[in-house]
Amino acid sequence: MLLDTYGRVATDLRVSLTDRCNLRCTYCMPEEGLQWLQKTDLLSDEEIVRLIRIAVTRLGVTEVRFTGGEPLLRPGLVGIVEQCAALEPRPDMSLTTNGIGLKRTAQALKAAGLDRVNVSLDTLRPEVFKTLTRRDRHHDVIEGMAAARDAGLTPVKVNAVLMPGLNDDEAPDLLAWAVENEYELRFIEQMPLDAQHGWKRDGMITAGDILTSLRTRFTLTEQGADERGSAPAERWLVDGGPATVGVIASVTRPFCGACDRTRLTADGQVRTCLFATEESDLRGALRSGAPDEEIARLWKVAMWGKKAGSGLDDPSFLQPDRPMSAIGG
């Protein structure tokens, strides 16, 4: 198992399939994009499947989330999902996406064995979407989410980040729309993972701000810790249920004590935390011919050194050099 010195066990693997993205969200990367990884630096499809197999069969991982960048840009995605679905024991598999390519891929992903999707959508207003993402693709995301729902990739979860002066007034509208369309909405506090390092705690929209806004229209009943488990989102029943809304308060109410995640970057590095400043190389071991036992050992060593928390509240906190698109959300 992937145990750390604080007694936490990582069973949830986040796998970044690419650092590339077809949006340019202002809280993630600059308008001109980034210096992308070279193709030779990326893990191959076979290497990704092998590492997932080691994690599932040797290290106790039970959940696999495919991320990016934008994972739908990975040409071999359907094949990777299909091979991972054949593993014994079979992991629960999900995908975090911006939704643009879902309309054409949802059915194939479901047939390959994907269980569900998380789609990033911060606004219901196309003009605000264009400002936030620097792309006019709002309709593609809406259609992609509907395609995922119709394909059975459910529950379709919607991840929304509220930004001051842009969409900070939309929380109630987003929730009403999500409930109507049978999507599960989760608001995420903006985190210091932008490539520009422009994040500032002052002025950010907090979990408290979001809940205050939602309560102007809805009655929210908090679900207990037993319901939450190790999930990052605190959840509330909406008007008595069954619909729920979640808030991931990564900055103001961190949940590091219950963290059960391990992360694999697109170039084969283990990260113990989104905010980690160190990585452990598995790609080198793979390509030097290391057996599965050695790769599993290296992964265990990496996770044993996981820190107690993200360090966001420490005055000496340094934002990671690698942005969200390279780390995998």
CA 156, CA 111: separation in Å to the nearest integer? 16
Number of H helices, E strands in the chain: 11, 14
Known binding residue 130? Answer is: no
Q: Please write down the long-range contacts of 53-58, taking CB distance under 8 Å and 24 or more positions apart.
A: 53/84, 53/87, 54/292, 54/295, 54/296, 54/299, 55/2, 55/13, 55/262, 55/299, 56/84, 56/87, 56/89, 56/91, 57/87, 57/88, 57/89, 58/292, 58/293, 58/296
pLDDT tens string, the chain, 329 residues long: the values are: 999 999 999 999 999 999 999 888 887 777 776 778 899 999 999 999 999 999 999 999 999 999 988 999 999 999 999 999 999 999 999 999 999 999 999 999 999 999 999 999 999 999 999 999 999 999 999 999 999 999 999 999 999 999 999 999 999 999 999 999 999 999 999 865 555 555 566 678 899 999 999 999 999 999 876 555 557 889 999 999 999 999 998 888 878 889 999 999 999 999 998 888 889 999 999 999 999 999 999 999 999 999 988 766 666 666 667 666 667 66
Q: Tell me the pLDDT tens digit for each residue of 240-250.
A: 999 999 999 88
CA 150, CA 106: separation in Å to the nearest integer? 9
Torsion sign (Cα): 201, 207, 208, 209: positive
Q: Provide the mean pLDDT of the chain.
A: 90
Known binding residue 28? Answer is: yes
CA distances for 131 relative to 27, 125, 165, angstroms:
11, 10, 11
Known binding residue 84? Answer is: no
Known binding residue 212? Answer is: no
Torsion sign (Cα): 303, 305, 309, 311: negative
Cβ proximity of 171 and 220 under 8 Å: no
Known binding residue 120? Answer is: yes
Q: Tell me the pLDDT tens digit for each residue of 221-272.
A: 998 765 555 578 899 999 999 999 999 988 888 788 899 999 999 999 999 9
Q: Which residues contact 304 (CB under 8 A, 6 or more apart)?
A: 3, 4, 5
Q: Extract the tokens encoding 228.
A: 């939450």
Known binding residue 261? Answer is: yes
Give the global pTM: 0.91
Known binding residue 27? Answer is: yes
Q: How many CA atoms lie within 13 Å of 118's alpha carbon, on the beta-carbon side?
A: 20
Known binding residue 145? Answer is: no
Known binding residue 69? Answer is: yes
Cβ proximity of 47 and 286 under 8 Å: yes
Q: Which helix (H) or strand (E) holds 296?
A: helix 292-304
Backbone angle region of 7, left / alpha / beta, with phi > 0 → left and psi within -120 to 50 → alpha? left
Q: Which residues contact 107 (CB under 8 A, 6 or more apart)?
A: 147, 151
Known binding residue 262? Answer is: yes
CA 40, CA 79: separation in Å to the nearest integer? 20
Known binding residue 259? Answer is: yes
Known binding residue 157? Answer is: yes
Known binding residue 65? Answer is: yes
